[in-house]
Structure 1
């Protein structure tokens, strides 16, 4: 699932205001050594945090249906996880990096919700929309300064991009076959014989005194 979110984000970062710019998109940790090897304009989306969004956790089971609407399987609702990316721009001049970050903002701000048709693999198969936020309030336990310190890098402008994605919960359970036969009630008389036709929707009072009722399949 995580690699599929990477591909979705990469597709977004190479489109919109960045279409045709030829800017590379990387997912590497922006360490000093990595930065020293950059020789082309690059946008780096470093995945630094993964946390479950417990507010979205659901109970019960979800029905998996075919094209006719028949229930084939039942499974647990997906669990939702917040994938936080540290997005930075790398060029020779700070002014160019600021332009790239502006282009990233212009590209991602209109994409608050990603529909299933823009997703791939198991994400698309779930048929759910996934939310995206950019440059929101940083609420994770680790501050950005701590992240840069752990990377042994120099603090620089960055955008916090969070994609909240569903992760399928396993296992799945096969559903029983659909009921295709109806059930009726026939009344057995005192002599032990059945009435000739099914009797439906009788109340106990209606059947009182008519003998013993038996349930049969039509």
Structure 2
């Protein structure tokens, strides 16, 4: 992913800024030792920082569909990472370096994202925009002077290029088969048969049924006796 961004930047600068001139585009760390060996004009794009762009993080899962429009899998949304490049120009005269930096700034200001027609490899397959910004103020936790101090070199005019690259490397969760909705069904007809194959209320029969019927008769007789006693008691009281 990073090397693909390098290729896009190299091609963009060579075609729209250098226009075939004899100026190299390199990605070396501009240390004091490296600067001492420079003997030809060149543009240096040093990748000095990689961190996630938290403002672009999304939650949840994204669906993947087949040719019929059925969900076949789910994956996490892509996460964007900011690649910060320190762009410097190296020539024998400061005036030429300033002129070259001016051309680089004018070129990169024309784009809010890497040109889609120049994307290759996984960047082209993802199909998402690759935003970029040029010469914005550095964040509070980082300064360009600190970068040059870490490199051990002298402070030099530079452009800060930040590119937010989408990364889709995440687990894929296979989706289950779709649930088929057959709708609600209603069935009309006779009442279901009893356990003995008869329709309607059950018919007593057999020894077990005789016990149930006798219990019901005794319960009914007891209730009738209580009502008679209560009636007689009422008459006596009167």
Query: Does TM, scored on the shorter chain, surpass 0.5?
Result: yes
Take 2:27 and 2:183, find their aligned partners in 1: how far apart are those partners?
Answer: 64
What do residues 15-39 of structure 1 show as CA deviations (whole Å, max 9, x unaligned)?
Answer: 2132212321111100121112222
Matched position secondary structure for 1:14 = helix
1:135-214 residue pairs with structure 2 within 5 A? 135-139=135-139, 141-177=141-177, 183-189=182-188, 190=190
The whole-number CA distance in structure 1 between the counterparts of 2:3 and 2:75 is 23
Q: Secondary structure at the match of 1:60?
A: coil
SS of the residue aligned with 1:105? helix
SS at match of 2:103: helix
In structure 2, C-alpha distance between the alignment counterparts of 1:67 and 1:141, rounded to whole Å: 48
1:132 equivalent in structure 2: 132
Structure number, greater radius of gyration: 2
- Residue 39 of structure 1 is matched in structure 2 by 39
SS in 2 for 1:44: strand
Within 5 Å, give how 1:39-58 maps onto structure 2.
Answer: 39-58=39-58
Structure with bigger strand share is 1
Q: Deviations 1:147-199 (Å, cap 9, x if unpaired)?
A: 111111111100000001111141112233456x652444334466xxxxxxx
**Which residue is equivalent to 2:71?**
71
**Cα distance 1:176–1:121, how it changes in 2: closer, same or farther (>3 A)?**
farther
Alpha-carbon distance change, 52 to 127 in structure 1, aligned in 2, over 3 angstroms: same
Q: CA deviation at 1:65?
A: 3.2
Q: Residue 91 of structure 1 aligns with which residue?
A: 91
Query: Would you tell me which structure has more helix in proportion to its own residues?
Result: 2
Root-mean-square deviation over aligned CA pairs: 2.2
TM-score (norm 2): 0.73
What secondary structure, in the 3-state scheme, does the structure 2 residue paired with 1:15 have?
helix
Distance 1:135 1:68, change over 3 A: farther
Q: Aligned-pair distance for 1:88? A: 0.2
Aligned CA distance change for structure 1 residues 136 and 70 (closer, same or farther; 3 Å): same
